[in-house]
Structure formats: structure tokens, C-alpha cells
């Protein structure tokens, strides 16, 4: 489930892909589109994963900044400036 703050699930930020549940694995088996058909080398996979994780991190940071701005605006609606003088408790 994607986070409202980042727009990504924790799994996706950690592993660089969406979670594959049992039904999606079963569907791939039925359609014969298994992962083993992938012809990438290990080096290519690591490079692609690094790029994907970097993109996810940038987008998550942008989404978090937008979320922070929105939450600050919600908070500021009811906040008040307070004046204190020495000796106040």
C-alpha cells in the first residue's frame, strides 16, 4: 500500500519494484511470462536497479516536501502567535 507521504510503499522504496503477490506469480506462470526469460546480465540488472531506486528516492522526497507543505498549511490555519515576557510561566 503506497504511503500518502511518499507515494510509494516501503517495499518499493527498498527493493525498487512493486510487491508481487501469489496471484501475480500464478498469472505469470499461466501466461508463461516468467522472470527466467530475462536476458539481462547481473551488471545490467544492478545498474537498472540503482537507477530505479534513485528515481524512486527523488520522487518520494518531492512527494514528502509537497506533503509537508500541505500539513504545515493545515496546521497554520489554527495556530496563533504567542507573546511571552520574562517571568511568564
Q: What are the residue boundaries of the structural domains of the chain, listed by start? A: 1-35
Give yes or no for a contact between 12 and 55, defined as CB atoms under 8 angstroms apart: no
Give yes or no for a contact between 13 and 58, defined as CB atoms under 8 angstroms apart: no
User: What's phi and psi for 60, nearest 5 deg?
Assistant: -65, -40
Model pLDDT for residues 59-82, shown as the tens digit of each residue: 888 988 998 999 899 898 888 888
Q: How far apart are CA 89 and CA 85, in angstroms?
A: 9
Whether 21 shows a pLDDT value over 70: the answer reads: yes
Q: How far apart are CA 19 and CA 6, in angstroms?
A: 16
Q: What is the pTM of this model?
A: 0.57
Q: How far apart are CA 69 and CA 6, in angstroms?
A: 13
**Most confident segment among 6-10, 28-32, 64-68:** 64-68
Amino acid at each position: 500500500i503506497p504511503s500518502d507521504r511518499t507515494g510509494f510503499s516501503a517495499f518499493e522504496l527498498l527493493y525498487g519494484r512493486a510487491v508481487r503477490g501469489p496471484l501475480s506469480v500464478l498469472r505469470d506462470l499461466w501466461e508463461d511470462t516468467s522472470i527466467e526469460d530475462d536476458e539481462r546480465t547481473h551488471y545490467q540488472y544492478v545498474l537498472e536497479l540503482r537507477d530505479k531506486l534513485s528515481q524512486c528516492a527523488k520522487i518520494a522526497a518531492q512527494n514528502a516536501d509537497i506533503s509537508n507543505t500541505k500539513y504545515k498549511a493545515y496546521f497554520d490555519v489554527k495556530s496563533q502567535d504567542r507573546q511571552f515576557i520574562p517571568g511568564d510561566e
